[in-house]
Structure 1
């Protein structure tokens, strides 16, 4: 029989922050905190084993840190006897065992889980997740009455609110709010990123890796060489490594891709940030200081801060504003299943093989690899939005529904009809050639659009534009593209259509490209 508690607080695996409101409300001497590893959360999609290992290990390290601070922590391991297998089940079990009249919960990162907890029949007291700069209510207020919810306008307001990269009179440093045009340089030949920071698995992590390897061997992805930070101190060390060695070049080359270089100048901190091991306010303040001290150029500082307080906060706002109906949107009516090579990397398309291969190995790909390689292909091929959304949610360490769904369904697939992005992010193989060195080792020719040796992205790009002409030809950002299409020789258009049909037929037959 467990000692009674006056109140019970639930801590989720993506809420590993000492700054939660729960810690202001609860009392370590009289109350208890519940943390639980449960089968339902590990299996509702086929999460990458590294992702499961990261969260379980980080949870166990956080529980130890809380105990050192004097908190009573009830920690349920995945293989504990009596584990009910779900978070609502564990909450009910320990609420009854402790006799706690109140249960305190922080807003969830996933609509699915929040609804399950709300429906569990317990007297829940909810707290806002103040790790974010913009609350759900604040975003809804900002969005109210606007015809279009453009990230750029939201970002400017967030910059002003946070006081980042501003002149004393409130104008943006450098005279422009957005320096995205300076963030698209291709990687010079031979340039590579710094050696990545690596963190050796301690006894806790080794125990978790053994558990995950045994229990989730049916999930795609590798545990070998796991080196991700699992504590606040390690996450801080990863962040400092980025500040010292990568941020200065991040602005120029954040869109670049290179074979055998999964990280280049990227921070690799999104998973640590999303589970609470890092604080967004501190990260932005550090970047602002780095620019003001002359350590990094403005385009690097602005580009990084824009991703954090612009895009990241914006997609969370969209998610909670539009769920649950948002998850079912499918503006193009796509129905094609996800090709099998997304789970194996077995494809002759070098860019896809590289991106999927590193994803299955590391649980990581940066934003352009996701948007303009695997995402672009899914868009051009007409993959069902639910299928590609589930894949992204499963395979990436940093993927939680609030951030994954708007990015994939809205930005990658344009399945919301333009609610989030003003145009589909579609491109031919020429874009990938310009931003990477993938094409040089590919079995397909990026300079060809038709024929068996032609890059599949080329014909699929024009096929996508032709089959969705009615929906997209009026988009002013696609006007030049459709003029180019209209100016093509009719025979050329027919050849591109036939090649696109052949490629899609191969996918429908379950054949790899």
Structure 2
């Protein structure tokens, strides 16, 4: 019998159709799945994120064994565990004597760099295959980006619509428009009661993982009390079906709304399952399209959902690999303030920020407007160091892997990439949060008041941000009106905004050292 091929599979590659298995058969393949300390602690991940991935890995191993594959599974608490992918691959080579190693390309730059070193360190041939779970292969994205002055997602999204045929009639978008975003900006309404997410019972595997994480990662951020993420393919499909039936019809209208205590609203909350491989993103989009074609969901809701997946998700992944490694150190607005401690404690009188930190702590989740226009907007306006902000987002969210987190933070949220990704910084005063949420009504601060100790801090911080970045941003077409307003203000009024913002910024307490790494 010939020696086998060793196929390492990572915690975000939990798909039976992964490319590293596509040309293999169970008779001469050993699948290596590794729980390693490096991956649990390169940032101090949220407890629920670690539990999700470890439980999903263990369930996936059982799925593979049930399909006839040989799986060599290395547990985190194995006394012989080296703690790294490289160490465990070398140990597996000693155990199995494979004729080669075959692996699907990783999602993160740091892992790819380690994998390139394998070509030198491993005593057998290494074959790295593209990740075919993405709709746009990286070479295709590079070709699309080549020579373009502006790499805007909207134009890329239209190419993905044409490629997939989603929401298309021949070569035209259904409804005569590519984008229905204008219909998807509904604010909170009194009495709005979104359906609950489906519950998932903890089986013996998940209970064991939760005990391990509670013990081994007790000092990590977050709670396991509400752990309810799907950790099997069947549970992920249950979550998918519940979203399509119960929440997709109103997803579009309320996707930007924020309600205190309503942590999921009409959002899918499927991104963790998609990003670790339990759901196929293209299949999910086709199912959403069917909901529209069969009259169960409106076009604007389905288009908005599909745009997030085949548009934004694919675009962000392409931008990550196009811009790395420089993106990790980008700081185009020269922001150097350390991350405030309330990002961990939630102890702030700003009700919007307190609630967003609370849902992040409780669920390893906050929806995209909470991440962008509350948590991210504050970091942008206050001039928080981009690397601190990126580490925080990577740490706290169950769906956060660097390929999706870093471009969103450095480009979309903080404009640290000097506009490579977004056409303007997503800066907003308290008026936006008031319009899209119910946070402001019972906040200690007064959103209508512009300056002073009782005023919503976002108001003065907004003008402070524009003022200190005027040389860098005043040429942006989409900021022409705010800068014109700023210049029309009296010197006394401008000074009042600056002094008010400075006074607030002095109250910020930096996070304790060593919070992320």
* TM superposition score normalised by structure 2: 0.97
**2:165: which partner in 1?**
163
**1:291: which partner in 2?**
292
TM-superposed CA distance for 1:510, in Å, is 7.2
Greater Cα shift, 178-187 or 155-164: 178-187
TM-superposed CA distance for 1:4, in Å, is 8.7
Give the distance between the partners of 2:429 and 2:469, measured in 1 at CA.
16
> Contact 2:339/2:510 (CA < 8 Å) preserved in 1?
no
**1:11: which partner in 2?**
9
- The alpha-carbon distance between structure 1 residues 297 and 144, as it changes in their structure 2 partners (threshold 3 A), is same
> Contact 1:330/1:385 (CA < 8 Å) preserved in 2?
yes
- The alpha-carbon distance between structure 1 residues 240 and 510, as it changes in their structure 2 partners (threshold 3 A), is closer
* TM superposition score normalised by structure 1: 0.97
TM-superposed CA distance for 1:198, in Å, is 1.4
> Contact 1:385/1:409 (CA < 8 Å) preserved in 2?
yes
TM-superposed CA distance for 1:81, in Å, is 2.0
Q: Deviations over 1:267-292 (max 9, x none)?
A: 00000000000001111111111111
Residue 172 of structure 2 aligns to a residue whose secondary structure is coil
**2:464: which partner in 1?**
463
TM-superposed CA distance for 1:133, in Å, is 0.2
**2:147: which partner in 1?**
145
Residue 73 of structure 1 aligns to a residue whose secondary structure is strand
> Contact 2:341/2:510 (CA < 8 Å) preserved in 1?
no
**1:133: which partner in 2?**
135
Q: In structure 1, list runs of 5 or more residues that go unmatched.
A: none
Residue 26 of structure 2 aligns to a residue whose secondary structure is coil
Q: Deviations over 1:130-168 (max 9, x none)?
A: 11000111101111111111100000000000001011x
Q: Deviations over 1:435-481 (max 9, x none)?
A: 00011121111011211111111110110001111111111101111
Structure 1 residues 195-234: aligned runs within 5 Å: 195-234=196-235
TM-superposed CA distance for 1:57, in Å, is 0.2
| Corresponding residue pairs, total | 508
Give the distance between the partners of 1:216 and 1:449, measured in 2 at CA.
43
**1:356: which partner in 2?**
357
- The alpha-carbon distance between structure 1 residues 192 and 407, as it changes in their structure 2 partners (threshold 3 A), is same
**2:416: which partner in 1?**
415
Structure 1 residues 372-391: aligned runs within 5 Å: 372-391=373-392
Give the distance between the partners of 1:76 and 1:104, measured in 2 at CA.
18
Residue 28 of structure 2 aligns to a residue whose secondary structure is coil
**2:515: which partner in 1?**
none
> Contact 1:56/1:208 (CA < 8 Å) preserved in 2?
yes
TM-superposed CA distance for 1:5, in Å, is 4.3
TM-superposed CA distance for 1:490, in Å, is 2.0
Structure 1 residues 79-478: aligned runs within 5 Å: 79-120=77-118, 121-122=121-122, 123-167=125-169, 169-478=170-479
TM-superposed CA distance for 1:502, in Å, is 1.0
Structure 1 residues 26-45: aligned runs within 5 Å: 26-45=24-43
> Contact 1:4/1:98 (CA < 8 Å) preserved in 2?
no
> Contact 2:226/2:362 (CA < 8 Å) preserved in 1?
no
TM-superposed CA distance for 1:316, in Å, is 0.2
Residue 119 of structure 1 aligns to a residue whose secondary structure is helix
Aligned CA-pair RMSD:
1.3
TM-superposed CA distance for 1:509, in Å, is 7.0
Q: Deviations over 1:83-128 (max 9, x none)?
A: 0001111011111221112111111111011111221312320011
Give the distance between the partners of 1:92 and 1:118, measured in 2 at CA.
14
Residue 484 of structure 2 aligns to a residue whose secondary structure is helix
Give the distance between the partners of 1:225 and 1:429, measured in 2 at CA.
30
Residue 508 of structure 2 aligns to a residue whose secondary structure is helix
Q: In structure 2, list runs of 5 or more residues that go unmatched.
A: 513-517
Give the distance between the partners of 1:319 and 1:228, measured in 2 at CA.
26
Give the distance between the partners of 1:101 and 1:455, measured in 2 at CA.
64
TM-superposed CA distance for 1:351, in Å, is 0.2
**1:479: which partner in 2?**
480
Q: Deviations over 1:406-430 (max 9, x none)?
A: 0011000000000000000000011
TM-superposed CA distance for 1:44, in Å, is 0.2
Give the distance between the partners of 1:496 and 1:504, measured in 2 at CA.
12
TM-superposed CA distance for 1:488, in Å, is 1.6
Give the distance between the partners of 1:361 and 1:504, measured in 2 at CA.
27
Residue 114 of structure 2 aligns to a residue whose secondary structure is helix
Q: Which runs of 4+ in 1 moved over 3 A?
A: 508-511
